[in-house]
């Protein structure tokens, strides 16, 4: 939402807004001259008298500002519809979708295009140091690169000339009934590509394979053909008839991936990443494919990947605490947590301590066993209570305590912490120089990682 506000202001509109939890992002918007209110109140509508009201999926029909806006007969749309309208004002649009990795891939693709002098307008779901914001304001009407989130079917409002689907897992369980429901949504997203569009996909994700089969059936039934497909994956398992970008000779140096990239049968470049994990090798290949379709060169790819250290909250090193490195990551879904733990395993360390906060009660309830299976192998996990701005605990009183009990029952080692002070006290007891602390979950817990190391304080001095 903050990025959309910034893009709208740059387009010449007067922008105002409100937030239940003001923070650095709202302060940033205020510094740019926008009127930002704390909390939701019908008075803000009367004060600003907007022509258009845009709301996020976390805001429901009982919101007093929505009620007031509708009572006045104002035009009210959700953020997905607004972003989709913005898409259509550009000649080329790259929308990057998938359950995981959207922010990293979108950031990488955008920076590669900027290095190739393409100057895209960019819409990210996190801050990027190179932008000093969540957006980059490029050449109006030319090229836009954006994340495409599947929550509430938001991405079905978007327009793309190039679309990427990085992976498909069962998530947003408060909206989707099951994995088949998620796959159907991604089919609908891909079907929105024009006939001359391109779809970038992995060749190793079973759910994506299923999605492609359903997409082919649906398009055939409507008299259309499949879009151009550009794959990414491992050169050793590449099928000869699949066009795309593939890695070979993958090694890890100090926990960071290094590999060769091939475009079909042609050597494309040698990549040394500054972000860890096999999942980021895949994200990088997807970013390269999308950027290549928009005119980027191998030289731009190599230059950017050798310096890119990730977007905010995506394996972000916040500093040191008691001699241990502290990493903060948004890995709130079990599959994302697994990928982050595997990436951390390649980084030299003595002990690995995990601080974890699940996001939303519904997700924790439905994916409970997946959380347990991923975290049971950790040396020790310190759980904060579930954070949610969408739902409540429910009649079963879902809590991080239940995860702790199950993990310990099965032979793991987990502790429930009442507050951040308790987490810090436990870390004081166990952390030694050379250890690694992973703080995983939403912004609420990642701010704790900053508090441990004083990162935000250092950056504002």
Q: What is the pLDDT of residues 232-243, one digit of tens each?
A: 999 999 998 899
Q: How far is CA 79 from the centre of its chain?
A: 17
Residue 230 has pLDDT above 80, yes or no: yes
Q: Are 150 and 185 in contact (CB under 8 A)?
A: yes
266-313: per-residue pLDDT in tens?
Answer: 999 999 999 999 999 999 999 999 999 999 999 999 999 999 999 999
Average pLDDT over residues 387-393: 80
pLDDT in the model for residue 121: 96
Please give the Cα distance from 274 to 129 (Å, whole number): 15
Report the percentage of the chain scoring pLDDT > 90.
90
State how far the alpha carbon of 290 is from the alpha carbons of 55, 104, 112, 257, 417, in Å. Answer: 29, 13, 10, 20, 43
Q: What mean pLDDT do residues 125-136 have?
A: 91
Placement of tokens 């398009």 in the chain: 219
Domains annotated on the chain, with CATH: 2-77 (3.40.50.720), 88-305 (3.40.1190.10), 316-460 (3.90.190.20)
Whether the CB-CB separation of 15 and 34 falls below 8 Å is answered with: yes
Mean pLDDT of the chain: 94
Q: Is the pLDDT of residue 124 over 80?
A: yes
308-337 pLDDT tens trace: 999 999 999 999 999 999 999 999 999 999
Residue 333 has a pLDDT of: 95
pLDDT on residue 144: 97
CA-nearest of 262, 1, 228, 233 to 135 is 1
| Cβ atoms of residues 174 and 362 within 8 Å | yes
Tell me the percentage of the chain whose pLDDT exceeds 70.
98
Q: Do β-strands 244-253 and 256-263 pair in parallel, antiparallel, or remain unpaired? A: antiparallel
Residue 25, pLDDT > 90, answer: no
- What angle (nearest 5°) sits at the alpha carbon of residue 12, between those of residues 6 and 16? 50
- In the prediction, which pLDDT does 459 show? 45
Q: Phi/psi of residue 195, each to 5°? A: -60, -30
Residue 6 scores a pLDDT above 90? yes
The DSSP line for 138-177 is -STTTEEEEE---GGGGGGG---SEEEE-------TTT-S
Question: Across residues 409-434, what is the average pLDDT?
Answer: 97
Taking only the tens place, the pLDDT of each residue in 169-225 is 999 999 999 999 999 999 999 999 999 999 999 999 999 999 999 999 999 999 999
Report how far apart, in Å, the C-alpha atoms of 318 and of each of 103, 105, 135, 179, 455 are: 18, 21, 22, 35, 6
DSSP conformation class of 259: E
Q: How many CA atoms lie within 13 A of 386 on its CB side?
A: 25
pLDDT surpasses 60 at 458: no
Predicted pLDDT of residue 395: 63
Coil, strand or helix at 269? strand
pLDDT reported for residue 461: 34
Partners of residue 145 on adjacent β-strands: 94, 122
pLDDT of residue 397: 86
Closest-CA residue to 243 (of 292, 192, 301): 292
Q: Give the CA-trace dihedral at 403, 404, 406, 407, to 10 degrees.
A: 110
* Per-residue confidence (pLDDT) for residue 456, from 0 to 100: 61
| Whole-angstrom distance, CA of residue 106 vs CA of residue 127 | 12
Q: Which two tokens stand for residue 39?
A: 């909390």
Residue 280 in contact with residue 273, Cβ under 8 Å? yes
């Amino acid at each position: 939402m903050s990025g959309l506000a910034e893009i709208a202001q740059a387009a010449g509109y007067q922008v105002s807004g409100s937030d239940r939890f003001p923070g650095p992002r709202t302060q940033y918007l205020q510094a740019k001259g926008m009127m930002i209110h704390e909390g939701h109140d019908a008075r803000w509508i009367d004060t600003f008298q907007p022509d258009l009201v845009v709301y996020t999926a976390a805001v429901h029909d009982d919101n007093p500002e929505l009620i007031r806006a509708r009572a006045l007969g104002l035009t009210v749309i959700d953020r997905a519809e607004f972003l989709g309208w913005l898409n259509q004002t550009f000649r080329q649009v790259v929308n990057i979708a998938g359950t995981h990795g959207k922010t990293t891939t979108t950031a990488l693709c955008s920076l590669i295009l900027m290095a190739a002098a393409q100057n895209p307008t960019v819409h990210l779901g996190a801050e990027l140091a190179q932008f000093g914001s969540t957006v980059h304001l490029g050449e109006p009407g030319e090229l836009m690169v954006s994340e495409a989130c599947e929550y509430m079917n938001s991405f079905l409002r978007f327009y793309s000339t190039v679309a990427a689907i990085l992976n498909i897992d069962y998530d947003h369980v408060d909206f989707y009934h099951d994995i088949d429901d998620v796959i159907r949504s991604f089919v609908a997203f891909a079907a929105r590509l024009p006939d001359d569009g391109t779809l970038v996909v992995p060749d190793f994700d079973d759910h994506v394979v299923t999605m492609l089969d359903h997409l082919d059936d649906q398009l055939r039934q409507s008299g259309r053909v499949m879009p151009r497909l550009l794959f990414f994956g491992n050169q050793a398992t590449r099928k000869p008839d699949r066009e795309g970008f593939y890695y070979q000779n993958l090694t890890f140096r100090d926990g960071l991936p290094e590999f060769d990239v091939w475009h079909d049968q042609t050597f494309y470049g040698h990549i040394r990443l500054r972000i860890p994990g096999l999942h980021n090798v895949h994200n990088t290949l997807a970013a390269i494919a999308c950027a290549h379709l928009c005119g980027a060169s191998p030289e731009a790819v190599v230059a950017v990947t050798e310096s890119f250290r990730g977007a905010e909250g995506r394996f972000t090193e916040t500093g040191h605490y008691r001699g241990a490195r502290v990493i903060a990551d948004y890995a709130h879904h079990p599959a994302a947590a697994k990928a982050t733990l595997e990436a951390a395993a390649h980084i030299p360390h003595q002990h690995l301590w995990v601080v974890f906060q699940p996001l939303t009660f519904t997700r924790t309830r439905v994916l409970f066993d997946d959380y347990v299976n991923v975290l049971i192998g950790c040396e020790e996990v310190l759980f904060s209570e579930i954070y949610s701005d969408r739902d409540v605990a429910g009649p079963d009183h879902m809590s991080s305590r239940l995860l702790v009990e199950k993990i310990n029952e099965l032979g793991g080692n987990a502790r429930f912490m009442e507050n951040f002070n308790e987490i810090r006290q436990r870390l004081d007891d166990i952390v030694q120089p050379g250890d690694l602390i992973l703080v995983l979950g939403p912004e609420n817990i990642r701010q704790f990682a900053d508090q441990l190391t004083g990162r935000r304080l250092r950056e504002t001095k």
